Structure 1
């Protein structure tokens, strides 16, 4: 009975943590819109230049170190208190090295990005490294003991505090007439304080369970080195898929602005253009949240089937994971591209560089393949080879970015990102087929998705023509027209896409039923095909 209750509590904790992560992702996406509206494109450029530096630490801590610590605790024979002491000493030393490194090299990194004004922001951002040991240890301990609701509470607290300080602080700074660099500094402070808030929440909730102590450990020196090596390698391997997009942003921070200026563009114009380009980040997150939240729900089913040696069932779930990823990824990408000028103006006041942003959001397709496929492979015990493929994609981005920007302007950066992600996604598919020789999609699925995309495009274009004509007739303002058009066109496109998918039965009723809210779609599919007959 107690074991049954324990499993129920754990399942409930997983659900709460999943919802918390979804909330954090959505809030992380949404706050950028009012922030950009407050500081403009140049201010957005300043913040986005520095953000990848701090985001690397945040993501590695949450998606890598915490999970690795949980695994070390549950798989090692030593007492947890002893292991926590070893990992605390290592992580504190590592955090100090990272802090001192980023703080002391902030001027160098700023000059490498072509903007010395970014140095103070990098110095502020470096303090986030000091939160790594405590966030990682507390979260790792909580995951090892199944206290997932604690992790969920800390993540929500981090994000709420961070967003509140960023938006309120930026509003006060802009109202006082301070410079955009000060606004960026305040936003960076908000990110650091958010992480500190997470540490405090975890300490309050776990101080009686997780014992973090500086006492000497009885674990041998050789064993300590083994544990530290294992912790580092495993944490990097499992967090690479989450870090990939952030590392791409880091490449852009070092190349886009400086290359545009070298090409002869005025400094303020280059800042604004990079800021407009960075509008694509929250748009990609929109599609990625939709695609990954659905497909990732299937991944645990694959792991369970493999543990039970049910290879046929595991293969079916792999196929479903890929199909759902492609279905939602293609729909989100095509939908955003169709409404981009209006979505751009609705969210960010102008429709500047909508063509570049349309190219930018094409990354959703590749990322919606990479994220769930990486999770599947890691669940099956494959970490090294997929990680090398991710690194290969990053190298493609590095090699192409500067050259493509020289040739195509800022659109070249979006092209380079797509090239790197496509490289990784296609080789991941090839690797999965090598490990598991299965057909991931059927011709029926491919034809159905293509037809649904064309139907969505036709319906959306007709709708946009009609709604913009009506708005022009009644002299509706530019941004209000964009808002009405974007929101209604998204609904029209979604209905058209889903209806054709249901009619063509791109997924079976049983497949839909596995997904969150899928039973309603399954019922709709049965209804549509009953009417058809």
Structure 2
């Protein structure tokens, strides 16, 4: 495929992710004000269990589908694509059926031995139907990503979020009159309805624009590899990805239990511990990870793009992808980390009406850039068939995170801040290991001169924001928005003056490239 396809796929996903993330923020703001930190804590408690179950159900196959379909398309091997999908569908549907039954019949065990707050039980019951829906959707998403046709998954995500928001606003507003437990369950019902809408959209899109009989109409009747080789290739990719996600999901599932028990050990009541976890997981974390709207889209697109480059024996293209991704992450991640650190308290106060969330966010935000870099590096390593190293690195960071949560959150003078410190340590170690692994595999072909220029521009923006908002604790929404907007303008102008953003570079971006190039050309000292 032409090099432009990488940018096109990435931009489509970024645009869709930005829309859905903004919609999600609007939804979360209203939901937080409806059901409070305690209700959000109940939802997050159950959501961590869902992530663990989905890891077993999908078994890393969406990544395998994406990677192997991309390779098969390059090789014009329609039979191989059909075989990949057939195996994946069989495994995923079987696992979805098994775990749906287990979740229902094991509900009492979950209630008594896993949920630290019994009010989370209705949310758990409402979660059960969603497993099969997400499992089937993952097949379609992996397939379209393998085709590097990112529009159907992108529009499906927007539709999911739209249905979810509408459902939650209606249901939560009704059930909050009964209890917080039922309101949190309503949020889960909204998620189920959204996923169903997205799945139906993907099914229709596959019929219209994803049929292999059209995409590979001139493919030979025989595959270039045997069925055994295809199965081996699927297992080779899916197994380490599954292990990686299993460990990550297990850590994510254990975290709320460990956090609440550590807070109880610190002398905090159960209801307060649930509310504190809601502040951390339902408010501070969403703000922290918002910039991943850009980097996670790059990560998704990198797996098939790197796989295609390797299959086509074009190593230079892999180096180019790594450099482009690192620069793009720095462009967004460095200033985002600064803004989230400096304005943690007013952002949480203005958005969620909870200024007490600010210190939690401020502790984690300085490591934001490293967090945003994890996804793209994971995409590169998975595209290079090194998912096993991703698993090892993530496991080390995850285990250390749980260890530090236990050691720090149980201390009365730290409490929930100990969880934030533990996450920061974990992110730093995991990303450092990913960088080292990537360097060992392919080197680190990154233009560090551009990184230095971005750092200088970020420092100048920090100075500008400090002047415009000398007292962040008292700033209101209007002045804060104006200051951040001014900072963005200064940042953009400096990047143009330093030659990081040039007319030639930005004009390559699909859709927005030409108009953005005109803006760059107007900037003083632009290249």
Pairwise same-fold verdict (TM > 0.5): yes
Output aligned runs, 1:59-458, within 5 Å: 64-69=60-65, 75=72, 86-110=87-111, 111-140=113-142, 149-174=151-176, 177-206=177-206, 231=234, 234-235=237-238, 237-238=240-241, 249-278=252-281, 279-293=283-297, 311-312=315-316, 314-407=318-411, 408-438=414-444, 440-442=446-448, 444-445=449-450, 447-458=452-463
Give the Cα–Cα distance (whole angstroms) in 1 for the partners of residues 207 and 306 of structure 2: 36
Give the Cα–Cα distance (whole angstroms) in 1 for the partners of residues 306 and 86 of structure 2: 35
Give 1:354 shift.
0.9
Q: Which residue of 2 aligns with 1:476?
A: none
Output aligned runs, 1:495-506, within 5 Å: 495-505=489-499
Is residue 295–residue 376 contact of structure 2 (8 Å, CA) maintained in 1? no
Give 1:225 shift.
9.3
**Which of 1 and 2 has higher RCO (CA within 8 Å, sep 6+)?**
2
Give 1:510 shift.
4.9
Report Cα offsets for 1:343-402 as digits up to 9, x if no partner: 111111131131211123345312221111122222333322223212222222222221
Give the Cα–Cα distance (whole angstroms) in 2 for the partners of residues 227 and 385 of structure 1: 22
SS in 2 for 1:352: helix
In structure 1, stretches of 5+ residues that fail to align are 212-222, 470-480
Is residue 60–residue 238 contact of structure 2 (8 Å, CA) maintained in 1? yes
Give 1:447 shift.
4.3
- CA gap of 1:490–1:237, structure 2 versus 1, over 3 A, is farther
Is residue 68–residue 235 contact of structure 1 (8 Å, CA) maintained in 2? yes
Is residue 401–residue 426 contact of structure 2 (8 Å, CA) maintained in 1? yes
Range 279-288 or range 74-83, more displaced: 74-83
Give 1:152 shift.
4.0
Is residue 13–residue 148 contact of structure 1 (8 Å, CA) maintained in 2? yes
TM-score (norm 2): 0.79
Is 1:50 matched with 2:53?
no
Range 386-395 or range 446-455, more displaced: 446-455
Give 1:239 shift.
7.5
Is 1:482 matched with 2:476?
yes
Number of aligned residue pairs: give it: 503
Give the Cα–Cα distance (whole angstroms) in 1 for the partners of residues 480 and 404 of structure 2: 33
In structure 2, stretches of 5+ residues that fail to align are 213-225
Give the Cα–Cα distance (whole angstroms) in 2 for the partners of residues 18 and 451 of structure 1: 26
Is 1:459 matched with 2:464?
yes
- CA gap of 1:427–1:454, structure 2 versus 1, over 3 A, is same
SS in 2 for 1:465: coil
